[in-house]
């Protein structure tokens, strides 16, 4: 229900992934609030009032007065000259997130748009008709103008639309669904395009994937500790009580839960594990502790009116400002990608320990499950570890903050811009690479603990002495879609399947 209530990251993603439909509040007061803005603009136009982007040109052209007879055509020119996006296209789910995010902002009632336009955007979501949106072309101030022009074009029946997995001319899709193209009213083209919807939509997706990775890396750390016969008391409650970062301590608690620690032994066989095990809560905890303020930045932006000018229908004011500037999203995404890349680095280091006989405490070289008579020709996870190192290096390379690379554009009118959309796209790429590292690590960790369990059983021990119930269920789930690597085989398919599971947040972790 869109109206006066706040929308969450989870709401956006539920709509993006077609788990929920949307509808507008039909509260009479809310409808009157929406209509007040559009009505005020209509009255101002009749009185020959000067309104940026309505009776003037755009950006540096704001000093150009638009003759009254051409005002109705101006929104079409705005969306058409911005039809110059390049690069890959947003996924269908991310296009849905963009439309949802723009609708949430416009539904605040401070953009001067008609009720009919809000209903049309809601219909696009509920009928699953999406614009085909190129990823590249926004500098993240004056809004995501170029990518959002593809949404404005869909409203008027131009360019291309995606419906039922097929890309077709927008006018044909709208005709099939009996949706007449809308003639954009003055200010409506600007209202659709001059906002932070693309970067904010991508940020919602990035946040959810990053949050899941904090859980997964905690689980994998527990598995690696088991596989390497590590000192589980590195995660002791009393240790973490004296450095009380809440997110860091949550990670330690999850690992401790998996390892079922009790009283530390007086004489441990290993006093201290390497940093990638011992300091895992401290590494993962930086991201875990950053999530609350990142959520605050993202959801405040999501629930804001972020175009220009702002229309105060009740007070009858046109307020010119810079709410299209995406600095908060840019900073959150620059920070998030750095935290996520650190998880890739952590997992890469853990995986390097697992495959190396100098550090893996008796596991086979490269985690090969080959029998002794065939060990010489089998190489297990050797190449997978090389791949994980490559993906990690690329993720680390992309952590350069985008927000400090502002460029002066548009005749120096947009002379300081946020780069928020580039930061969000970078963050999603870092997430993709880190998920690939995690996909490799999931398979390697499962293989490692299985090897450890088999070695324990071979000497008369019991599997349950190695793995607790929760870790055993996780390993069983991994092996439900992945065969133990005894003889060398191509693992690309297994890695892709594992990465897809991670992106879908397939394994429920620490609910």
Percent of the chain with pLDDT over 70: 96
Per-residue pLDDT tens over the stretch 79-93: 999 999 999 999 999
Q: Show me where the domains of the chain are located.
A: 9-195, 207-289+345-503
Query: Which residue matches tokens 């009749």?
Result: 46
Mean pLDDT of all residues in 486-499: 98
Residue 57 has what pLDDT? 61
Cα 310 from Cα 321, distance rounded (Å): 8
The DSSP-derived string for 249-295 is: HHHHHHHHHHHT--SPPSS-S-S---HHHHTHHHHHHHHHHHHHHHH
Those residues with Cβ within 8 angstroms of residue 124's Cβ, 6 or more apart along the chain or in another chain: 99, 130, 154
Mean pLDDT to the nearest integer, 411-429: 89
Residue 112 clears pLDDT 70, i.e. is over it: yes
Answer yes or no: are the C-beta atoms of 223 and 445 closer than 8 Å: yes
**What are 187-200's pLDDT values in tens digits?**
899 999 999 999 99
DSSP type of residue 56: B
**Token pair of 51 as six digits:** 């309104």
Q: What is the mean pLDDT of residues 378-393?
A: 98
Read off the pLDDT band of 176 (50, 70, 90): very high
Q: At 144, is the pLDDT very low, low, confident or very high (cuts 50, 70, 90)?
A: very high
Going by C-alpha positions, the residue among 23, 39, 154, 143 that lies closest to residue 95 is 154
Least confident of 194-208, 292-306, 406-420: 406-420
Q: Which residue numbers are catalytic?
A: 52
Q: Where are the alpha helices (DSSP H) in 26-144?
A: 28-46, 74-81, 92-106, 115-127
pLDDT at 405: 85
H/E element, 373: none
pLDDT band per the 50, 70, 90 thresholds, residue 120: very high
**252 to each of 41, 61, 350, 375, how far by Cα in Å?**
56, 56, 16, 37
How far apart are alpha carbons 253 and 249 in whole angstroms? 6
pLDDT at 427 over 60: yes
Looking at the domain covering 207-289+345-503, what would its CATH class be?
Answer: mainly alpha
The pLDDT, as a whole number, for residue 73 is 85
Which of 97-111, 311-325, 332-346, 428-442 bottoms out in mean pLDDT, i.e. has the lowest?
A: 311-325
Residue 398: strand, helix, or coil: coil
Angle between helices 327-355 and 382-397 (to 10 degrees): 160
pLDDT reading at 309 higher than 70? yes
Sign of CA dihedral 283, 289, 294, 299: positive
For the segment 210-262, what is each residue's pLDDT rounded down to a tens digit? Answer: 999 999 999 999 999 999 999 999 999 999 999 999 999 999 999 999 997 54
Half-sphere exposure of 433 (CA within 13 A, CB side): 27
CATH topology assigned to domain 9-195: Fumarase C; Chain B, domain 1 (1.10.275)
Length reported for the chain: 511
Quickly list H helices, 92-185: 92-106, 115-127, 145-156, 170-176
How confident is residue 417, by pLDDT bands cut at 50, 70 and 90? confident
**Is-above-0.75 flag for pTM?**
yes
What distance in Å separates the CA atoms of residue 417 and residue 408, rounded to the nearest whole number?
7
pLDDT of residue 263: 45
CB 132 within 8 A of CB 89: yes
Mean pLDDT score, 453-459: 93
The mean pLDDT of 335-345, rounded to a whole number, is 98
Determine what percent of the chain is predicted with pLDDT higher than 90. 82
What pLDDT band is residue 376 in, cutting at 50, 70 and 90?
Answer: very high
């Amino acid at each position: 229900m869109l109206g006066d209530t706040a929308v969450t990251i989870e709401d956006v993603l539920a709509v993006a992934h077609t788990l929920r439909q949307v509808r507008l509040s039909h509260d009479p007061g809310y409808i009157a609030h929406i209509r007040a803005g559009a009505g005020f603009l209509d009255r101002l136009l009749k009185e020959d009032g000067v309104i940026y982007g309505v009776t003037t040109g755009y950006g540096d052209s704001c000093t150009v007065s638009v003759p009254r007879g051409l005002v109705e055509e101006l929104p079409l020119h705005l969306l058409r000259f911005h039809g110059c996006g390049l690069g890959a296209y947003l996924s269908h789910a991310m296009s849905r997130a963009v439309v949802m995010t723009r609708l949430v902002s416009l539904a605040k009632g401070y953009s001067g748009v008609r009720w009919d336009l809000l209903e049309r955007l809601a219909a696009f979501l509920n009928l699953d008709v999406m614009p085909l949106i190129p990823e590249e072309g926004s500098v993240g101030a004056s809004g995501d103008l170029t990518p959002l022009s593809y949404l404005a074009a869909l409203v008027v029946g131009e360019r291309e639309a995606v419906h039922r997995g097929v890309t077709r001319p927008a006018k044909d899709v709208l005709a099939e669904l009996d949706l007449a193209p809308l003639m954009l009213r003055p200010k409506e083209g600007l209202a659709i395009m001059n906002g932070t919807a693309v970067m904010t939509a991508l940020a919602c997706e990035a946040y959810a994937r990053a949050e899941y990775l904090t859980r997964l890396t905690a689980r994998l750390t527990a598995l690696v500790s088991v596989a390497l016969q590590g000192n589980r008391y590195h995660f002791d409650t009393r240790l973490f009580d004296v450095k009380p970062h809440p997110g860091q301590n949550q990670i330690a608690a999850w690992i401790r839960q998996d390892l079922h620690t009790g009283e530390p032994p007086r004489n441990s066989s290993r006093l201290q594990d390497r940093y990638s095990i011992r300091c895992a809560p401290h590494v993962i905890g930086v991201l875990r502790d950053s999530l609350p303020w990142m959520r605050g930045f993202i959801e405040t932006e999501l629930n804001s009116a972020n175009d220009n000018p702002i229309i105060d229908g009740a007070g009858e004011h046109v307020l010119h400002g810079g709410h299209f500037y995406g600095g908060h999203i840019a900073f959150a995404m620059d920070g998030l990608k750095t935290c996520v890349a650190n998880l890739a680095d952590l997992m890469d280091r853990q995986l390097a320990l697992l495959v190396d006989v100098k550090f893996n405490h008796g596991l086979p070289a490269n985690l090969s499950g080959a029998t002794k008579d065939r060990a010489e020709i089998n190489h297990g996870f050797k190449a997978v570890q090389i791949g994980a190192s490559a993906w990690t290096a690329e993720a680390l390379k992309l952590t350069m903050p985008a927000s400090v690379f502002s460029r002066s554009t548009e005749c120096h009118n947009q002379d300081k811009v946020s780069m928020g959309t580039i930061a969000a796209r970078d963050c999603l790429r870092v997430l993709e690479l880190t998920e690939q590292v995690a996909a490799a690590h999931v398979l390697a960790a499962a293989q490692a603990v299985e090897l450890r369990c088999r070695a324990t059983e071979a000497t008369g021990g019991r599997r349950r002495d190695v793995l607790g119930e929760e870790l055993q269920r996780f390993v069983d789930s991994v092996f439900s879609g992945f065969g133990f690597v005894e003889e060398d085989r191509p693992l690309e398919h297994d890695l892709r399947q594992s990465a897809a599971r991670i992106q879908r947040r397939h394994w429920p972790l620490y609910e």
